[in-house]
């Protein structure tokens, strides 16, 4: 896990042992937002507590709005963003979906909001536990979604998110996701950058044209009725901006590396992919475990690799095709469900690239739901099954790894639950 | 017209110190009270206000279409669920950036009393420095006349229709103005369009009060289309609402309530309801329930207005 041994700590920057939530709060503080909206929800609460403490101690010069609900948190930061401010908020699960209409409006208004979502299961079944279902519940809102693997990446992605969201050519809100419980409360060493370096990294935005701002007497309207062609124009521009954000994110990753000495590879991270025959596609905190198992499998002569998704929206189709084309078999690990489909959401989306991938076989693994640990044994099972698929054996399309009772979702049974 | 009436009119016009930023013709229903109110506000407060509005009767005119607008104000089309939170975000950023502002959060009763009440209440609790105006047409008029929290007892709407098993809305109305006056905010008031000088004064007081925090105006805004009265009767409906104490005019400065217009001999509510079709099915016993509700609200207002003391407000947000 990071910080990697080869990372040079810049003079003055410190390695601190902190939680993922603390890393997010420090990232937000370093970005110097004008307005922060705070509302508690497990497992995100620690972020807004820390920001409130920074604010109370005079370390953070922002307007802190202690809203009466998440819906207001998103509405407040959207408006502050449209007025010209840099903003931050954070939420999770039930809170995220309580923001839903405002999340859609924020994207539609192209307000460059940056927020953190600490992944947790959504309402439906009360589960105070990790899972990416909240992310999936909001994926079609038109935001850019980034996913962190560890606490260092949480901090770094928050900083990169501002560069992406507020870039004059992008102007799309960005949500940084990381796994609740696994990362939110995990303490590990994090290299906390110097304020002056963060200022320099973000100063690129100051050199860009001023984005449109809603100001008193400015004779500007935000949120008109988009009708017919007007609606189409805005939607087309939004989709185009999302496409542009892919290359922009790669650029930002390179610039980040120049200043901070850390690089993540942009939209995706490839781990031992070059000569891999079988690949697991994953995201978030599971990737550390997957990398460890891959190392062991490599020792045993299995050519396995990992493709880690860092940018989930827009979907990094081109980068994934380039990395995966020609692989014998691909196992996609989803920590969420895609209701209406048997396989997980990322699996279902990757299947749409089947032709471009040139015949790579694919299977779906559903694991890590509601805090079921994605253990090394689970990952081994996934790699073995993917190898079986590569070898032409008959394997099930969808495996609920931690729920062996599940066969294919049952279409035969009738009556009752 | 008598001399006296002319004098009164001139007095109102004196408050209109700024241009009308709206197009000469706009797409409101004939007789709509909202048009008068919307044109009035920037002429009193200035054209440099930032006005926010939600999907509602005001939306077709306030929010524009594509890149076309009916007016030259800065405006923000917000969600009904989060209108006050949107206004909060604006004023907090302006404060941080040192930008002088008057933000007017302009919403119907559906937003203010129903779906957006939570964030209205939250903004009041945080004493956010902007002016919240609720234009109350007693229901969801834009979507086709549905019941809201401020719909009065007995009113027939499309979700509380009069029928053989229904007298219309079988609940009492929410008194939104009093609720807000109890929020310990610098300024809360009621107003309507039959008393424009009273409205103008209250708008200016709200603008002054927002230097100390949250200001709330509850404006009675009847709807000929939804309520069923002749389009030329809009102002008369307002006038009778005041004269019957159906909608009394008062203000609360720092929580201290006082009547801004006292009706010496209040008329029975039937002199108000007789103009309006949504009450046409009510019999005497039904009207008695409505009358009792009005009397109760007025009694409560009277009781509150004799209380001594003011709420102590936090330090001004602009100090």
Is pLDDT above 60 for B316? no
Whose tokens are 């196992």? That residue is A331
Burial class (CB in 10 A: 0-12, 13-18, 19+), A210: exposed
Alpha-carbon gap, residue A112 to B199, rounded angstroms: 38
Residue A378 near residue A368, CB atoms below 8 Å: no
State the CATH number of the domain containing residue B107: 3.40.50.970
Confidence of residue A91 (pLDDT cuts 50, 70, 90): very high
- A75: nearest CB among B48, B86, B96: B86
Kindly report, residue by residue over B196-242, the tens digit of the pLDDT.
Answer: 999 999 999 999 999 999 999 999 999 999 999 999 999 999 999 99
- Nearest C-alpha in A relative to B54: A223
Q: What is the pLDDT of residue B67?
A: 85
- Indicate whether B318 pLDDT > 80: no
Number of domains in chain B: 1
List chain A residues with CB under 8 Å of B77: 221-225
Q: How far is B256 from chain A (nearest CA, A)?
A: 26
Nearest CA of chain A to the CA of B304: how many Å? 28
**Interval A372-397 mean pLDDT:** 97
Chain A residue with Cα closest to B127: A65
**How many helical (H) and strand (E) elements, i.e. helices and strands, does chain A have?**
13, 16
- For A85, nearest residue in chain B (alpha carbons): B93
Dihedral in degrees, nearest 10, Cα atoms A311, A312, A318, A322: 70
Look at A63 and B93 and tell me if their CB atoms are within 8 Å: yes
Backbone phi, then psi, for A142, in 5-degree steps?
100, 10
Given this model, what pLDDT does residue B66 score? 87
Q: What residues have CB less than 8 Å from B72, skipping those under 6 apart? A: A219, B21, B47
pLDDT at residue B314 in the model: 67
Taking only the tens place, the pLDDT of each residue in B42-88 is 999 999 999 999 999 999 899 988 888 999 999 999 999 999 999 99
**B315 lies in a domain?**
no
C-alpha–C-alpha distance, residues B55 and B35, integer Å: 16
> Which residue in the set A73, A216, A227 is minimally distant from B66, CB to CB?
A227
CB atoms within 10 A of CB A52: 16
DSSP assignment letter at A207: G
Angle at B35 between CA B29 and CA B36, to 5 degrees: 130
Please name the member of B59, B68, B82 whose beta carbon is closest to the beta carbon of A75. B82
How far apart CA A13 and CA A7 sit, in angstroms, is 12
Token duo for residue B171 = 């609940």
Which residues contact residue A255 at a Cβ distance below 8 angstroms, ignoring those fewer than 6 apart? A163, A201, A204
Considering only CB atoms, which chain A residues are within 8 Å of B81?
A: 71, 75, 101-102
Tokens of B247: 């909608």
Give phi and psi for A130, each to the nearest 5: -75, 160
B10 pLDDT band, cuts 50/70/90, is low
Please answer whether residues A307 and A320 qualify as being in contact, where contact means their C-beta atoms are separated by less than 8 angstroms. Answer: yes
**pLDDT(A128) > 70:** yes
Q: Is residue B183 part of a domain?
A: yes
Helices A70-82 + B83-97 axis angle, to 10:
50
Which residue, among A75, A103, A110, A232, would best test binding to B if mutated, counting the most B CBs under 10 Å from its CB? A75
| Percent of chain B at pLDDT exceeding 70 | 95
Evaluate whether B110 touches B80 at the Cβ level (below 8 Å).
Answer: yes
Closest CA to B23 of B53, B59, B64: B64
Residue of B nearest to A113 (CA): B89
A83 and B96 within 8 Å at the Cβ level: the answer is: no
The mean per-residue pLDDT over the stretch A304-322 comes to: 98
Q: Is residue B313 part of a domain?
A: no
Q: In the sheet where A329-334 sits, what is the strand order? A: A268-271, A304-309, A278-282, A329-334, A361-366, A398-400
Q: What is the pLDDT of residue B1?
A: 36
Q: What is the pLDDT at residue A405?
A: 84
Q: What count of CB pairs under 8 Å joins A to B? A: 161
> When comparing pLDDT for B265 and A2, which is higher?
B265
pLDDT for B319 beyond 50: no
**Closest alpha carbon within chain A to B89:** A76
B186 in Cβ contact with B254 (< 8 Å): yes
* Banded model confidence at residue B313, pLDDT cuts 50, 70, 90: confident
Q: How many whole angstroms separate alpha carbon A395 and alpha carbon A382?
A: 11
Nearest C-alpha in A relative to B128: A65
Give the model's pLDDT for residue A382: 98
For residue A414, the model assigns a pLDDT of 64
- Whether residue B9 is predicted with pLDDT greater than 70 in this model: the reply is no
Inter-chain contact B85–A76, Cβ cutoff 8 Å?
yes
Residue the block writes with tokens 């604010």:
A55
- What is the pLDDT, as a whole number, of residue A252? 98
Percentage of chain A surpassing pLDDT 90?
Answer: 89
- pLDDT tens per residue, range A225-254: 888 999 999 999 999 999 999 999 999 999
Residue B311: predicted pLDDT: 85
B50:A78 CB<8 A: no
A215 with B72: Cβ contact below 8 A: no
CB A117 within 8 A of CB A179: no
Question: Shortest CA distance to A166 belongs to which of A228, A102, A80?
Answer: A80
Which CATH number is correct for A14-260, 3.40.50.720, 3.90.180.10, 2.60.40.10, 3.40.50.970?
A: 3.40.50.970
A75·B99 Cβ contact <8 A: no
Average pLDDT over residues A374-399: 97
- Banded model confidence at residue A415, pLDDT cuts 50, 70, 90: low
Could you tell me which chain B residue has the CA closest to the CA of A226? B66
For B145, the domain range is 3-305
Model confidence pLDDT, tens digit, residues A26-84? 999 999 999 999 999 999 999 999 999 999 999 999 999 999 999 999 999 999 999 99
* B166-200 residue pLDDT tens: 999 999 999 999 999 999 999 999 999 999 999 99
pLDDT of A23 over the 80 cut: yes
Q: Cis bond leading into B107, ω under 30°?
A: no
Taking CA atoms, B202 is separated from A325, B105, B190, B195, B205, in Å, by 69, 15, 8, 11, 5
Question: Which residues are CB-neighbours of A203 under 8 A, at least 6 positions away?
Answer: none
- Distance to chain B for A221, nearest Cα, Å: 5
For residue A79, list chain B residues with Cβ-Cβ distance below 8 A. Answer: 52, 76, 78, 85-90, 93
φ, ψ for residue B210 (rounded to 5)?
-70, -10
| Residues A327-352 pLDDT 10s | 999 999 999 999 999 999 999 999 99
Give this complex's ipTM: 0.94
- Does a cis peptide bond (omega within 30 degrees of 0) precede residue A123? no
How far from the centroid of its chain's Cα atoms is residue A95's Cα? 17
pLDDT 10s digits, A252-262: 999 999 999 99
SS3 state of residue A341: coil
The conformation of residue B47, written as its DSSP 8-state character, comes to: T
- Chain A residues whose CB is inside 8 A of the B118 CB are 68-69, 71-72
Residue B261 has pLDDT above 60, yes or no: yes
Token digits of residue B76: 């923000």
Separation CA B69–CA B62 (nearest Å): 8
- The Cα A272–Cα B85 span in angstroms is 48
At B310 the pLDDT is 84
What is the CB neighbour count within 10 angstroms for residue A261?
17
Candidates B234, B230, B202; CA nearest to B218 is B202
Distance from CA of A17 to the nearest CA of B (A): 32
Residue A318 tokens read as: 């081109």
Q: What is the pLDDT of residue A315?
A: 98
Widest pairwise Cα distance in chain A: 70
What is the residue whose two structure tokens read 């229904």?
B166
Confidence check: pLDDT of B267 > 60: yes
Question: What are phi and psi for residue A186, nearest 5 degrees?
Answer: -80, 125
Please check whether the two domains, A14-260 and A268-400, share a CATH topology: yes
Summarize pLDDT for A350-368 with one digit per residue, the tens.
Answer: 999 999 999 899 999 999 9
Q: Are B74 and B51 in contact (CB under 8 A)?
A: yes
* Gap from B80 CA to chain A (nearest CA, Å): 10
- C-alpha A108/C-alpha A141 separation (Å) is 8
**Which residues from B are below 8 Å from A219, CB to CB?**
72-74
Alpha helices in A310-403 (DSSP H): 317-324, 345-351, 376-390
pLDDT at A5: 41
Selected residue of A216, A228, A237 to mutate for chain B interface (largest B Cβ count, 10 A): A216
**For A216, which of B49, B85, B121 is closest by C-beta distance?**
B49
Burial A326-361 (b: 16+ CB within 10 A, else e): ebbbbbbbbbbbbeeebbbbbbbbbeebeeebeebb
Chain B CA closest to residue A37: B89
pLDDT of residue B61: 93
A115 within 8 A of A48, measured Cβ to Cβ: no
Residue B312 covered by a domain: no
Beta carbons of A215 and B90 less than 8 Å apart: no
Alpha-carbon B249 to chain mean position: 11
- CB-based burial label for B233 (10 Å; 0-12, 13-18, 19+): middle
pLDDT band at A409 (very low <50, low <70, confident <90, very high): low
pLDDT surpassing 80 at residue A185: yes
Work out the minimum CA distance from A171 to partner chain B, whole angstroms.
18
Q: Which residue has the tokens 């207001």?
A: A72
Mutate to test the interface with B, among A37, A62, A64, A80 (most CBs of B within 10 A): A80
Closest listed residue to residue A120, CA positions, set A91, A93, A146, A159:
A93
Residue A150 is given by DSSP the state S
Q: Residue A10 above 90 pLDDT?
A: no
| B119 contacts A69? CB cut-off 8 A | yes
Residue found under tokens 């859609």: A104
User: Would you state the structure tokens that stand for residue B201, as one six-digit string?
Assistant: 């004064």
Q: Name the average pLDDT for chain A.
A: 95
Beta-carbon separation of B66 and A229 below 8 A = yes
CA of A321 vs chain B CAs: smallest distance (Å):
38
pLDDT in tens, A156-168: 999 999 999 999 9
Q: Which CA distances in Å does A91 have to A104, A115, A119, B46, B80?
A: 15, 8, 9, 38, 21
Which pTM value belongs to this model?
0.95
Q: Is A221–B75 a contact, with Cβ atoms under 8 angstroms apart?
A: yes
Q: For the residues of A164-181, what is the DSSP string, one character each?
A: HHT-TTT---EEEEEETT
Query: So where are chain A's domains?
Result: 14-260, 268-400
Task: Report, in angstroms and rounded to the nearest whole number, the Rg of chain A calculated over CA atoms.
Answer: 21
CA distance to partner chain A, nearest, from residue B99 (Å): 8
Contact B122 A84 (CB under 8 A): no
Say whether pLDDT at A6 is over 50.
no
β partners of residue B65:
A225, B68
Indicate the CATH number of A268-400 among 3.40.50.920, 2.60.40.10, 3.10.20.310, 3.40.50.2000.
3.40.50.920
Q: Search chain B and give the residue with CA nearest A86.
A: B93
Q: What is the pLDDT of residues B142-165, one digit of tens each?
A: 999 999 999 999 999 999 999 999
Tell me the pLDDT tens digit for each residue of B277-306: 999 999 999 999 999 999 999 999 999 999
Instruction: Give A354→chain B minimum CA distance, Å.
Output: 39
Q: What pLDDT is recorded for position B258? A: 95
| Nearest chain A residue to B94, by CA | A83
Q: What are the distances in angstroms from CA B25 to CA B30, B65, B119, B124?
A: 11, 15, 33, 35
Q: Which residues of chain B does A67 touch, with a Cβ-Cβ cutoff of 8 Å?
A: 85, 88, 119, 122
pLDDT of B315 above 70:
no
φ, ψ (nearest 5 deg) of residue A410:
-80, 115
């Amino acid at each position: 896990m990071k910080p990697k041994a080869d990372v040079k700590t810049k003079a003055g920057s410190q390695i601190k042992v902190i939680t993922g939530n603390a890393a997010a709060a420090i990232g937000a503080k370093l970005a110097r937002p004008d307005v922060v909206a705070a509302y508690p929800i497990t497992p995100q609460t620690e972020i807004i507590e820390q920001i409130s403490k920074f604010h109370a101690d005079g370390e953070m010069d922002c307007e802190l709005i202690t809203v009466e609900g998440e819906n207001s948190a998103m509405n407040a930061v959207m408006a502050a963003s449209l007025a010209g401010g840099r903003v931050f908020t954070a939420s999770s699960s039930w809170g995220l979906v309580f923001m839903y209409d405002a999340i859609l409006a924020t994207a539609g208004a192209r307000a460059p909001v940056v927020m953190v979502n600490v992944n947790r299961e959504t309402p439906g079944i009360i589960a105070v536990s990790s899972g990416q279902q909240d992310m999936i519940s909001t994926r079609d809102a038109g935001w850019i979604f980034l996913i962190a693997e560890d606490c260092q990446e949480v901090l770094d992605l928050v900083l990169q998110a501002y560069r992406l969201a507020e870039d004059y050519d992008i102007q799309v809100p960005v949500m940084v996701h990381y796994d609740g419980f696994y990362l939110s409360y995990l303490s590990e060493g994090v290299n906390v950058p110097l304020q002056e370096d963060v200022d320099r990294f973000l100063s690129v935005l100051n050199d860009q044209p001023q984005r449109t701002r809603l100001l008193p007497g400015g004779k500007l309207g935000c949120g008109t009725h988009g009708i017919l062609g007007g609606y189409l124009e805005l939607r087309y521009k939004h989709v185009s901006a999302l496409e542009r954000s892919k290359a922009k994110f790669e650029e930002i990753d390179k610039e980040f590396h120049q200043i901070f000495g850390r690089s993540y590879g942009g939209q995706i991270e490839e781990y031992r992919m070059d000569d891999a025959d079988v690949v697991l596609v994953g995201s978030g905190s599971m990737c550390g475990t997957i990398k460890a198992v891959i190392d062991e499998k490599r020792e045993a002569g299995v050519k396995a690799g990992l493709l880690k998704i860092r940018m989930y929206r827009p979907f990094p189709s081109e980068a994934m095709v380039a990395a995966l084309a020609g692989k014998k078999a691909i196992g996609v690990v989803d920590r969420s469900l895609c209701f209406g489909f048997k396989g997980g959401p990322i699996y279902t989306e990757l299947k749409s690239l089947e032709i471009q991938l040139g015949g790579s076989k694919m299977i779906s693994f559903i694991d890590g739901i509601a805090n079921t640990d994605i253990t090394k044994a689970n990952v081994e099972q996934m790699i073995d099954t993917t190898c079986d698929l590569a070898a032409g054996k008959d394997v099930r399309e969808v495996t609920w790894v931690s729920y062996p009772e599940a066969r294919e979702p049952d279409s035969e049974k009738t009556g009752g639950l | 017209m008598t001399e006296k009436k002319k004098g009164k009119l001139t007095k109102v016009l004196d408050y209109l110190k700024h241009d009308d930023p709206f197009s000469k013709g706009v797409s409101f229903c004939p007789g709509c009270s909202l048009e008068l109110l919307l044109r009035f506000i920037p002429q009193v407060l200035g054209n440099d206000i930032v006005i926010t509005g939600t999907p509602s009767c005001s939306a077709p005119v306030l929010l524009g279409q594509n890149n076309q607008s009916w007016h030259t104000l800065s405006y923000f089309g917000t969600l009904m669920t989060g209108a006050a939170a949107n206004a909060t975000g604006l004023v907090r950023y302006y404060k941080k950036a040192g930008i002088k502002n008057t933000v007017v959060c302009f919403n119907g009763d559906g937003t203010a009393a129903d779906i957006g009440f939570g964030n209205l209440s939250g903004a009041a609790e945080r004493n956010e420095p902007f002016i919240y105006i609720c234009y109350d047409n007693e229901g969801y008029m834009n979507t086709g006349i549905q019941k809201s929290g401020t719909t009065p007892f007995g009113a027939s709407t499309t979700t509380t229709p009069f029928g053989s098993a229904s007298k219309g809305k079988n609940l009492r109305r929410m008194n939104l103005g009093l609720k807000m006056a109890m929020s310990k905010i610098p300024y809360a008031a009621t107003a309507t369009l039959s008393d424009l000088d009273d409205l103008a004064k209250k708008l200016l007081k709200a603008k002054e009060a927002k230097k100390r925090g949250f200001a709330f105006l509850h404006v009675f805004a009847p709807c000929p289309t939804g309520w069923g009265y002749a389009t030329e009767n809009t102002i008369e409906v307002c006038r009778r609402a005041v004269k019957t104490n159906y909608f009394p005019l008062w203000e609360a400065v720092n929580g201290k309530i006082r009547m801004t217009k006292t009706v010496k001999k209040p008329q029975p509510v039937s002199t108000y309801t007789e103009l309006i079709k949504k009450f046409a099915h009510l019999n005497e016993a039904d009207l008695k329930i409505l009358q009792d509700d009005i009397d109760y609200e007025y009694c409560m207002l009277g009781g509150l207005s004799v209380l001594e003391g003011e709420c102590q407000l936090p330090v001004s947000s602009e100090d």
